[in-house]
Chain A
Amino acid sequence: MNIASRTWLSRILATIPALLIAVLVIVPFAEMLSRFLDFSSIGALGGSSPIALLTRRAIENSLVQGMLSAATSFAVGLPLGFFLGRYEFRFKRLLRSFAILPIFLPSIVVVTAFISSFGPGSPTHAIYSGSTIFSTGLSGIVAVNTFFNAPLVAMMTMLSVERSNRTLDEAAMTLGASGMRRFISVWGRDGIIAGAGGSLLAFLYSFAGFTAPLIIGGPGYFTLEAWIYFMVRTLNNIPLAAVMSLVEAGALLLPAVFYFAFIGGTKRVYGTGRPPAEENRKHSPFFISGALYVAAWTGLECYILGSVFYSSLRLGQSSPGFGNFVLLFSTRTTVALGLPTSAVLLNTMFYGIMTSLLVTLIGLVWIYGKRRAASRALIVTDTVQFIPLVISAVIFSLSLAVTFEYTTSFAFDWILIIIAQSVLAIPIVLRVMEAGFSAIPPSYTEAALTLRGNPFFEVEVPIARSTLASALMFGFAMSLGEFTATNFLATTSYIPLGVQIYQLQVLRIFGAAEAAAAILLLMSLASFYVVQRAGEVFVAVR
């Protein structure tokens, strides 16, 4: 193969994720709109019918929940990020991993955990009955969203602060800048920018929130996402759902574009300075107050996650033990769901493994092409990868179902679920892979080429092997945690654990739901641990 052919092949490989997104997201979305979009149904939104009222309410809820959650996530996450990014202390790595853990947890587990932690019958409720504000209504939804998104803000802030230029900080110090001035002009500046970027993402995720509004909110608190789901699944009003999906996509596009413009357009002060700052002023009031704040956050995390195990083991009740687990695996549950829990566990593992393999394979092909094809067009195709942020999971799965499910047998639902989970994992897993592979200097690849070797398999992949392990585990964790699209697409034989928890709650078999949540939480914690371990043994060039 000559040089020109190789370049073209590389360019094609580098566009594969974008092509997949186009075929599996954009085309089905357009197909769904072309089939069902009926602008005459917009008229129904203006009247005083229950549907019109609930639709207008859903738009309002999305905005309110999005803005409140973004604000609280920023307020809670920013101090966490500053403390963890700025100070060095023993067990920092462990604490850092634990602080950002909620990002990786399945939404259904977190919602269940909030109900167990603050709902009626919880230990908190026994002490203070007002604690139910964190498990019901708008306050409950915002609390859940904040628990998810504050770690995202913290992580982005922390990474930015860690990368801030130590030399510039020292230069400012020698020029007589006060601590506050250095914070504003050097190391804190990037942290605030990154944290603001994180809160924009929090807005996106909360605007299109699904699990919390569905389970602890109810119709009065439905977001557009939950309302579209309800319109399709319960009211069978697909034309209005199509209109609303267009509204939601438009509403998400604006902040998403703003996010990329904001992140790309702001000048950072990271640089070529020495490695991250090591601030060891452990007796300063900033350190002590930061440490207390982080301790409070991790204490809250321990309580919320511990409550899942607490309630699954019926601790504090008249008959503590494994009764909920026995119920989960009992014939009663099998009959109620039409599928034994062992099969549900197998489904969960199967989806996790297949999704992680598929998305990592897509990532490998993409990275291979991207490292070899220098083309400005790739900026456009890489941007396309973020479309799943704009076309939300319910709309995406509705489009996927409209395009493929009704033309194929329901027996192939499992394929659609794997496709859906993989597509939704692409923006994250590919970023993880890009970060790992970009640390490999191009000269290594070129050296292997001049020596007639195989640069990709002999040099790049071995050097980035722990990045690959991380990508696989991220894919697995995202499959475990994905609830919205999977719940939409899965029919009885193909449900995974997350959907099972929801169905058990709908059927009011709460004990089994709590036991299932405990198992899913354990699986998520295990996969998170492996991701962290893979990151620690990362051998790429630093």
Chain B
Amino acid sequence: MPYVEVNGLRKKYRDSFELRNISFHLGKGEVFTLMGPSGSGKTSLLRNICGLDTPDAGSIVIDGREVNDLPTTRRGIGLIFQDLAIFPHMTVFDNIAYGLRAKRAAESEVRSRVMELSSILSIEDLLDRYPSQVSGGQRQRIALARSVAPSPSLLLLDEPLSSLDQQLRADVRSELKSFSRELGLTMIYVTHDHHEGLYMADSAGIIFDGRLEKSGSPMDIFESPGSEKVSSFLGYNVISLKGRRIAFYPTDFEISMEKGDVRGVVRSIGYEGEFYRAHVETESHESLQLTFPHENGTVRIKTGQSVNIILRRSVEIE
């Protein structure tokens, strides 16, 4: 039986944006990642789940109990905001203890829980500092500790890593995953980065214009994107081939000088470190991105050159 169920959720906003009939579920201790481009409705969906916005229709059930009519304070849901929202006037300790004290936990319990979490997250040396005195990665951990401290039944994370640089982002992402597994947290994780989303997920969904376009296991989603929108979001090239719409990944091709599935002209090519990236315009004026390693030998292709592309693997889409 699912631990969290969102059924037919609808919400119309003033700016005419709406969440349209959204349904998904996840089991206890699982991580569901919600992916989609900016403005697709990811944050709005989280706000409805935790009660900061009220749905027009549909139900939100957590552990068998419908929570639609419960105020945010009584839903027992933790939320990590995109800007982290760490209280600037409180020390790190007080920030982490905030939710426990709000629940009127005994001070000894507060102290032991704060010490336990800060030890797991390696921030025990920061407890007396103010948020302005810690680094970006440390702030991330503080926000995580604060949200987890009251033992929420569900933890929502709204693009929590968006403010970090790439390297730190990868480190914190990995820590977050092991931390969530260690504590058995049930989480809904929102991101616009499909690599991050797939990495974190037990199950995932992709949302466009307020509609959940695709959901399933990370592998299902990536291997069978299904629609053009989802394919493009996941980084696929989408083209028409022999009357069908197909998607192929930028790495799944070979360049041939003789005959191929698709013919096009190289519009630009550049070195990105791990690989080369080329932009190719097909004869039917579709734009493709191709990436290939140095040793591939195909780096001999030049801007303006005509090439034949052989697709190694592709999927048919709607």
Show the binding face of A for B, using Cβ within 8 Å. Answer: 1-4, 6, 441, 443-444, 446-454, 458-459, 462-463, 539, 541
Cα distance A449–B50 when bound, in Å? 10
Q: Kindly list the 5 A-B residue pairs having the minimum CB-CB distance in the complex, ordered from nearest.
A: A451-B99, A443-B85, A447-B85, A453-B102, A452-B102
With A443-B83, A447-B79, A450-B79 as known contacts, state yes or no: A3 contacts B88, CB within 8 Å. no
Chain A nearest CB from B138 CB (Å) reads 17
Q: Are A443 and B150 in contact (CB under 8 A)?
A: no
Q: Are A446 and B102 in contact (CB under 8 A)?
A: no
Cα distance A360–B71 when bound, in Å? 29
Q: Are B81 and A446 in contact (CB under 8 A)?
A: yes
Chain A nearest CB from B57 CB (Å) reads 15
Q: Are A452 and B99 in contact (CB under 8 A)?
A: yes
Chain A nearest CB from B161 CB (Å) reads 16
The A-contacting residues of B in range 63-87, CB under 8 angstroms, are: 69, 71-75, 77-79, 81-83, 85, 87
Instruction: Given A3-B54, A450-B79, A451-B150, output 14 extra A-B contacts at Cβ < 8 Å.
Output: A1-B71, A441-B83, A443-B83, A444-B87, A446-B52, A449-B72, A450-B73, A450-B75, A451-B78, A451-B146, A451-B147, A453-B99, A458-B102, A463-B88
The residue of chain B having its C-beta at the shortest distance from the C-beta of A455 within the complex is B73
The A interface is mostly helix, strand or loop, or mixed, namely helix
Cα distance A2–B68 when bound, in Å? 10
B residues near A459, Cβ cutoff 8 Å = 87, 89
30 contacts between A and B (CB under 8 A): A2-B71, A3-B71, A6-B71, A441-B85, A443-B81, A443-B82, A443-B83, A444-B87, A446-B52, A446-B81, A447-B79, A447-B87, A447-B146, A448-B87, A448-B102, A450-B50, A450-B147, A451-B99, A451-B146, A451-B147, A452-B73, A452-B103, A453-B98, A453-B99, A453-B102, A459-B89, A462-B89, A463-B89, A539-B89, A541-B88
Chain B nearest CB from A377 CB (Å) reads 13
B146-165 CB mask vs A (1 if < 8 Å, else 0) is 11001000000000000000
Cα distance A448–B51 when bound, in Å? 13
Cα distance A43–B233 when bound, in Å? 78
B residues near A449, Cβ cutoff 8 Å = 52, 71-73
Q: Are B85 and A452 in contact (CB under 8 A)?
A: no
Chain A nearest CB from B190 CB (Å) reads 14
Name, among A6, A444, A452, A454, the residue most crowded by chain B CB atoms within 10 Å (CB to CB). Answer: A452
B residues near A539, Cβ cutoff 8 Å = 88-89
A residues near B75, Cβ cutoff 8 Å = 450
Chain A nearest CB from B304 CB (Å) reads 33
B residues near A452, Cβ cutoff 8 Å = 73-74, 99, 102-103, 150
Cα distance A462–B98 when bound, in Å? 14
Q: Are A3 and B51 in contact (CB under 8 A)?
A: yes
Chain B nearest CB from A306 CB (Å) reads 41
B residues near A463, Cβ cutoff 8 Å = 87-89
The A-contacting residues of B in range 82-127, CB under 8 angstroms, are: 82-83, 85, 87-89, 98-99, 101-103
Cα distance A459–B98 when bound, in Å? 10
Chain A nearest CB from B101 CB (Å) reads 8
Name, among A444, A450, A463, the residue most crowded by chain B CB atoms within 10 Å (CB to CB). Answer: A450
Q: Are A2 and B85 in contact (CB under 8 A)?
A: no
A residues near B99, Cβ cutoff 8 Å = 451-453
Chain B nearest CB from A458 CB (Å) reads 8
Cα distance A6–B54 when bound, in Å? 12
B194-227 CB mask vs A (1 if < 8 Å, else 0) is 0000000000000000000000000000000000
Chain B nearest CB from A10 CB (Å) reads 12
Q: Are B72 and A450 in contact (CB under 8 A)?
A: yes
Cα distance A281–B73 when bound, in Å? 55
The residue of chain B having its C-beta at the shortest distance from the C-beta of A6 within the complex is B71
The residue of chain B having its C-beta at the shortest distance from the C-beta of A542 within the complex is B88
B261-276 CB mask vs A (1 if < 8 Å, else 0) is 0000000000000000
The residue of chain B having its C-beta at the shortest distance from the C-beta of A446 within the complex is B52
Cα distance A539–B132 when bound, in Å? 12
A residues near B73, Cβ cutoff 8 Å = 449-450, 452
* Contact pick for A444, options B52, B54, B72, B85, CB 8 Å: B85
Q: Are B85 and A446 in contact (CB under 8 A)?
A: yes
The residue of chain B having its C-beta at the shortest distance from the C-beta of A449 within the complex is B72
Cα distance A3–B77 when bound, in Å? 16
Q: Are B98 and A451 in contact (CB under 8 A)?
A: yes
The residue of chain B having its C-beta at the shortest distance from the C-beta of A459 within the complex is B87
Cα distance A424–B167 when bound, in Å? 56
Cα distance A459–B72 when bound, in Å? 16
The residue of chain A having its C-beta at the shortest distance from the C-beta of B155 within the complex is A450
Cα distance A450–B158 when bound, in Å? 13
Cα distance A454–B82 when bound, in Å? 21
B residues near A453, Cβ cutoff 8 Å = 98-99, 101-102
Q: Are B81 and A447 in contact (CB under 8 A)?
A: yes
Cα distance A450–B88 when bound, in Å? 17
A residues near B85, Cβ cutoff 8 Å = 441, 443-444, 446-447
Cα distance A449–B78 when bound, in Å? 10
Cα distance A463–B90 when bound, in Å? 9
Cα distance A451–B79 when bound, in Å? 8
Q: Are A446 and B69 in contact (CB under 8 A)?
A: no
Chain A nearest CB from B98 CB (Å) reads 5
A residues near B72, Cβ cutoff 8 Å = 446, 449-450
* Contact pick for B102, options A2, A443, A454, CB 8 Å: A454
A residues near B69, Cβ cutoff 8 Å = 2-3
Cα distance A451–B99 when bound, in Å? 5
A residues near B83, Cβ cutoff 8 Å = 441, 443
Cα distance A452–B85 when bound, in Å? 15
Cα distance A450–B155 when bound, in Å? 10
B245-279 CB mask vs A (1 if < 8 Å, else 0) is 00000000000000000000000000000000000
The residue of chain B having its C-beta at the shortest distance from the C-beta of A4 within the complex is B54
Q: Are A450 and B89 in contact (CB under 8 A)?
A: no
Cα distance A443–B82 when bound, in Å? 9
Cα distance A120–B105 when bound, in Å? 73
B residues near A451, Cβ cutoff 8 Å = 78, 98-99, 102, 146-147, 150
Cα distance A152–B81 when bound, in Å? 40
The residue of chain A having its C-beta at the shortest distance from the C-beta of B50 within the complex is A450
Cα distance A448–B71 when bound, in Å? 13
* Contact pick for A448, options B77, B88, B98, CB 8 Å: B98
Chain B nearest CB from A51 CB (Å) reads 55
